[in-house]
C-alpha cells in the first residue's frame, strides 16, 4: 500500500512537468507575445521591446522554461500581462476560492440528491417515483451545464417573475445566498443524475440479496431494513463516485461561471486565452491539472481503505 | 465530453423497464436486463460481438435486423432517432428550409422583435431572422460533430489498435501518452489549441479531434486486447494473414458495435463543445451563425430580461439535439448489446 502511494506520488511529478511544458511550448508558438493587448496604440515599438526584455521573452526557450519552472516551484506565477500590475497569485487567490465554493456546493448537491433519488427509485421500482426519477436523470444527464443554467435562468428568473411568481432568483451575480442556488443546480445536475443511476442499480441489487431476506425474515421493520441493511451495503460503491465527480466539478466550470456572471477562475481563464496572457494561462492550466491529478490520487488511495477487496 | 464526468452505462434503467414489459419474449433482453441490474459489477462479455464473425452471412444480417427491431421497440430511442433525423435534414437542406440567409438583415428597425406569425422565433439584435440562423447553425453543429468524430476515429483507432494488438513496449509508451493527455481537462486543451490556431470552424473540429482521440484509443485497445486471443484470429494467422489484415479485416469489424455506440455519444459531445466555445467567444466567429454564439449574444446583459426569445430558442435547439442523441445512443447501446461506454 505504502509503496503504491509512493509510486503514484512519484508519477505525479513527470505528468505535471509534461503538462506545463506542453502548455508552455504551445503558448510560445502562438503568434504575438501578449505583452500588450491588441489595439493599444499609445505604446511605442521601443517600449514593447523593453517590456518583452523585462519579462525575459527574448531569452532562448529552454532558458525561459527553466526560469519559469524555478519560479513556479517557489509558488510565484509572475505578473499577469493583461491585468498588470496585479500578480497572477493575487488573481488566483481571489478567484480560486469562488470556483471551489461553487464546486463544493455542486458536489454536495449532486451527492445528497442523487443518493436520495436513486434510493427512492429503487425502493419503488417500476412505480411512478421510479419513472419520475428516471426521467429526470436522463434529462439532467444529457443537458450540457450551460444549457441547464440558461433554462433555469429563463424559467425562474425571467418567465415566472413575469407571471407574478418571484422566487427571488437573479440573472447572475453572487451577492445574496439565493444567487448560489441556480449555478449549483446547473453544475450539479449531470453528476447528480449519474449518482442517482448508480445508486438505483446498486440498491436494487442489495434489495434482492440474501442478507436482506434474512433481515425481513427475522422481523426487522421495512424502514430498518432499508436504512441498516440495504443502504449500508449499497452505498459503498456509490461513495467511490464522489471523488471523480469532485475532481471534475470541484473547480467550478468556465461555462457555468460565465452563464451566471460568477467571478471565479473560469471567466479570467477565457479572457487570458483570448488576450494570450501567458502567465495567467499557464497558472490556470497548472492549477486545474494539479487539482485533477491530486484528486485522482486521493480517490485511488481512498478506494483501498473503503473497499478491502482492492489491494495494490 | 468536456466536463469530464464518469460515464455510466445508461442502458440499465431503460433495460429494466423493457424487462418488466415483455420478459416473456426476449431471452436476450432478459440477460441484458440482468447485466444492467448487476450494475456496478464487472464488464459482461459481449455476446453479439464475439460471435459475429463465426456466423454466416445470413446470420450476420439477422444480427443487425435484431438490433433494429430492438431499437424500434424502445420509445425513447425512436424519439431520439426522430430528433436526430430532423436535425440532420435541417442541416442538409438549410438553404431550402430557411426563409432568409444566415446573416441577412431582415429589417434593422425590427431588431429584437419577438416571435410573431411572420417570424415564428423572432428577430435578433441586428434584425436577423432567428429561425433561419438556427437552421444554418445546425449545419455548423453537424459539420463540427461529424468531422471531429471522423478525426477522433482516424487518430484513435490506429493508435488504440497498435497498443492493443502489439502490446508490450508499444502499448506501454502509447498508454503513458494517453495518461498524460487524460490528466488535462479536455476543454482546457481544446481552448489552448484554439488559442494557437485561431478560432473558426476548421480549427474547432481539428482541436476537438486532436484532443478527443484518447477515449477512442482506450476503447479500441481494450477491444483488441480481448479479441486478439480469439480462435478466429489464430485461424486467420495460420491461414497466412499478416498483422495488418488481422487487425483491419478481423478485429476491427468485430469492434464495430462499441464504435457505433461511442460515435453516437462522441458527435453530440463535439457539438456541445463547439456550442460552449462559441458561447464564450473563442469558437465560431460572426457573422457565421452558430447555436453557441447565438446563446452568447442572447445572454448579453439586458437582453435576458427584455428579450428572452433571443436566448430561449438557441438554448432549446442545443438541449433538444443533446437529448435526441442521448436517447438514440442509449437505445443503440441496448439494441446492439454493448456494455457501458467506459473508455
Q: Per residue in A285-301, pLDDT tens?
A: 778 777 877 777 777 77
Task: Dig out the grid coordinates for B314 from the structure.
Answer: 438557441
Q: Which of A30, A144, A159 sits opposite B196 (nearest CB)?
A: A30
Using an 8 Å CB-CB cutoff, list chain B residues near A18. Answer: 180
Q: Which of A73-82, A209-218, B3-12, B96-105 is least confident?
A: B3-12
What is the CA B112 to chain-centroid distance, rounded? 33
Amino acid B18: pLDDT: 37
Amino acid B296: pLDDT: 87
Using an 8 Å CB-CB cutoff, list chain B residues near A207. Answer: none
- Where are the domains positioned within chain B? 4-59, 74-342
Amino acid B16: pLDDT: 38
pLDDT grade for B78, boundaries at 50, 70 and 90: very high
Shortest distance between the Cα of A167 and any Cα of chain B, in A, equals: 15
% of chain B exceeding 90 in pLDDT: 16
Amino acid B303: pLDDT: 80
Position A108 pLDDT exceeds 70: yes
B320-334 per-position pLDDT tens digit:
999 999 899 888 888
Question: Is B326 within 8 Å of A245 when comparing Cβ atoms?
Answer: no
- Is-contact A78 A209, C-beta < 8 A? no
pLDDT grade for A309, boundaries at 50, 70 and 90: low
A32-87 per-position pLDDT tens digit:
555 555 555 566 667 777 777 766 666 777 777 787 777 777 777 777 777 777 88
> Average pLDDT, whole number, for chain A?
80
Q: Which of B4, B299, B319 sits opposite A143 (nearest CB)?
A: B319
Instruction: Give, to the nearest 10 degrees, the angle between helix A278-306 and helix B186-197.
Output: 160
Shortest distance between the Cα of A255 and any Cα of chain B, in A, equals: 7
Tell which of B315, B325, B339, B343 to mutate to test the A interface (max A CBs under 10 Å): B315
- Is-contact B9 B339, C-beta < 8 A? yes
Pick the residue with more confidence: A165 or B316? B316
Shortest distance between the Cα of A154 and any Cα of chain B, in A, equals: 7
pLDDT grade for B318, boundaries at 50, 70 and 90: very high
Position A137 pLDDT exceeds 70: yes
Amino acid A230: pLDDT: 86
Give counts: helices (H), strands (E), chain B: 17, 0
Pick the residue with more confidence: A203 or B194? A203
B134-166 per-position pLDDT tens digit:
999 999 999 999 999 999 999 999 999 888 888
- Where are the domains positioned within chain A? 95-271+286-311
**Top-ranked range on mean pLDDT: pick from A157-171, B72-86, B118-132:** B72-86
Using an 8 Å CB-CB cutoff, list chain A residues near B275. Answer: 144
Using an 8 Å CB-CB cutoff, list chain B residues near A126. Answer: 16-17, 20
Q: Which of A72-76, B245-249, B256-260 is least confident?
A: A72-76
Contacts of A311 (CB under 8 A, 6+ apart): A1, A304
Kindly report the CATH class assigned to A95-271+286-311.
Answer: mainly alpha
Amino acid B3: pLDDT: 39
Tell which of B191, B282, B326 to mutate to test the A interface (max A CBs under 10 Å): B191
Mean pLDDT computed over A14-25: 75
> Average pLDDT, whole number, for chain B?
77
Position B50 pLDDT exceeds 50: no
Closest CA to A155 of B294, A163, A143, B302: A163
Position B6 pLDDT exceeds 60: no
Q: Kindly report the number of other CB atoms within 10 A of residue B67's CB atom.
A: 19
Pick the residue with more confidence: B109 or A221? A221
- Is-contact A260 A183, C-beta < 8 A? yes
The CATH homologous superfamily of the domain defined by B74-342: MetI-like (1.10.3720.10)
Three-state secondary structure along A67-97? HHHHHHHCCCCCECCCCCCCEHHHHHHHHHH
Tell which of A144, A251, A253, A290 to mutate to test the B interface (max B CBs under 10 Å): A144
Question: Is A144 within 8 Å of B276 when comparing Cβ atoms?
Answer: yes
- The DSSP code for B250 is I
Position B261 pLDDT exceeds 50: yes
% of chain B exceeding 70 in pLDDT: 79
Shortest distance between the Cα of B153 and any Cα of chain A, in A, equals: 23
Amino acid A185: pLDDT: 92
Task: Dig out the grid coordinates for B275 from the structure.
Answer: 456550442
Closest CA to B248 of B262, B236, B258: B236
Amino acid B61: pLDDT: 58
Amino acid B23: pLDDT: 37
Position B37 pLDDT exceeds 70: no
Interface pTM, i.e. ipTM:
0.79
CA separation, residue A258 to residues B40, B59, B103 (Å): 35, 53, 26
Q: Kindly report the number of other CB atoms within 10 A of residue B328's CB atom.
A: 26
Amino acid at each position: 500500500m505504502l509503496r503504491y502511494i509512493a509510486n503514484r506520488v512519484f508519477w505525479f511529478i513527470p505528468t505535471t512537468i509534461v503538462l506545463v511544458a506542453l502548455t508552455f511550448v504551445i503558448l510560445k508558438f502562438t503568434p504575438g507575445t501578449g505583452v500588450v493587448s491588441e489595439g493599444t496604440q499609445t505604446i511605442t515599438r521601443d517600449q514593447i521591446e523593453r517590456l518583452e526584455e523585462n519579462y525575459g521573452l527574448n531569452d532562448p526557450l529552454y532558458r525561459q522554461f527553466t526560469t519559469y519552472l524555478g519560479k513556479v516551484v517557489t509558488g510565484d506565477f509572475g505578473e499577469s500581462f493583461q491585468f498588470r500590475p496585479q500578480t497572477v497569485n493575487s488573481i488566483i487567490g481571489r478567484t480560486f476560492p469562488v470556483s471551489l465554493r461553487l464546486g463544493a456546493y455542486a458536489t454536495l448537491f449532486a451527492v445528497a440528491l442523487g443518493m436520495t433519488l436513486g434510493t427512492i427509485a429503487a425502493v419503488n421500482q417500476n412505480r411512478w417515483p421510479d419513472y419520475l426519477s428516471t426521467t429526470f436523470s436522463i434529462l439532467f444527464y444529457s443537458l450540457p451545464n450551460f444549457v441547464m443554467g440558461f433554462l433555469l435562468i429563463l424559467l425562474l428568473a425571467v418567465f415566472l417573475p413575469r407571471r407574478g411568481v418571484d422566487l427571488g432568483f437573479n440573472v447572475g451575480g453572487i451577492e445574496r445566498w439565493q444567487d448560489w442556488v441556480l449555478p449549483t443546480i446547473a453544475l450539479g445536475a449531470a453528476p447528480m443524475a449519474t449518482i442517482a443511476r448508480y445508486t438505483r442499480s446498486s440498491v436494487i441489487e442489495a434489495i434482492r440479496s440474501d442478507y436482506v431476506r434474512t433481515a425481513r425474515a427475522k422481523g426487522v421493520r421495512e424502514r430498518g431494513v432499508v436504512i441498516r441493511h440495504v443502504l449500508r451495503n449499497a452505498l459503498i460503491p456509490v461513495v467511490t463516485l464522489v471523488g471523480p465527480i469532485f475532481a471534475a466539478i470541484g473547480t467550478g466550470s468556465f461555462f457555468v461561471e460565465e452563464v451566471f456572471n460568477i467571478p471565479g477562475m473560469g471567466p479570467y481563464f477565457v479572457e487570458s486565452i483570448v488576450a494570450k496572457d501567458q502567465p495567467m494561462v499557464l497558472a490556470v492550466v497548472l492549477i486545474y491539472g494539479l487539482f485533477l491529478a491530486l484528486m485522482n490520487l486521493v480517490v485511488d488511495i481512498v478506494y483501498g481503505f473503503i473497499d478491502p477487496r482492492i489491494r495494490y | 465530453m468536456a466536463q469530464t464526468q464518469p460515464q455510466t452505462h445508461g442502458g440499465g434503467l431503460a433495460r429494466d423497464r423493457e424487462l418488466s414489459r415483455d420478459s416473456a419474449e426476449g431471452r436476450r433482453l432478459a440477460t441484458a436486463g440482468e447485466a444492467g441490474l448487476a450494475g456496478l459489477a464487472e464488464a459482461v462479455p459481449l455476446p453479439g460481438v464475439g460471435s459475429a464473425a463465426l456466423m454466416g452471412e445470413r446470420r450476420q444480417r439477422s444480427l443487425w435486423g435484431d438490433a433494429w427491431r430492438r431499437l424500434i421497440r424502445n420509445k425513447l430511442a425512436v424519439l431520439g432517432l426522430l430528433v436526430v433525423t430532423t436535425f440532420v435534414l435541417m442541416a442538409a437542406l438549410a438553404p431550402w428550409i430557411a426563409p432568409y440567409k444566415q446573416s441577412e438583415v431582415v429589417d434593422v428597425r425590427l431588431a429584437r422583435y419577438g416571435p410573431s406569425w411572420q417570424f415564428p422565433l423572432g428577430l435578433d439584435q441586428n434584425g436577423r431572422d432567428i429561425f433561419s440562423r438556427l437552421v444554418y447553425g445546425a449545419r455548423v453543429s453537424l459539420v463540427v460533430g461529424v468531422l471531429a468524430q471522423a478525426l477522433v476515429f482516424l487518430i484513435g483507432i490506429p493508435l488504440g489498435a497498435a497498443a492493443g494488438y502489439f502490446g508490450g513496449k508499444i502499448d506501454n509508451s502509447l498508454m503513458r501518452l494517453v495518461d498524460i493527455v487524460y490528466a488535462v481537462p479536455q476543454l482546457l486543451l481544446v481552448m489552448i489549441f484554439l488559442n494557437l490556431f485561431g478560432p473558426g470552424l476548421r480549427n474547432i473540429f481539428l482541436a476537438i479531434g486532436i484532443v478527443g482521440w484518447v477515449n477512442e484509443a482506450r476503447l479500441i485497445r481494450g477491444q483488441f486486447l480481448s479479441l486478439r486471443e480469439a480462435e478466429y484470429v489464430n485461424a486467420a494467422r495460420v491461414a497466412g494473414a499478416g498483422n495488418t489484415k488481422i487487425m483491419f479485416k478481423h478485429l476491427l469489424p468485430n469492434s464495430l458495435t462499441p464504435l457505433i455506440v461511442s460515435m453516437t455519444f462522441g458527435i453530440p459531445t463535439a457539438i456541445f463543445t463547439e456550442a460552449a466555445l462559441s458561447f464564450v467567444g473563442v469558437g465560431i466567429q460572426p457573422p457565421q451563425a452558430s447555436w453557441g454564439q447565438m446563446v452568447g449574444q442572447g445572454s448579453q446583459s439586458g437582453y435576458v430580461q427584455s428579450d428572452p426569445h433571443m436566448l430561449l430558442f438557441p438554448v432549446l435547439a442545443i438541449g433538444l439535439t443533446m437529448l435526441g442523441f442521448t436517447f438514440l445512443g442509449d437505445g443503440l447501446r441496448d439494441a446492439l448489446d454493448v456494455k457501458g461506454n467506459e473508455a
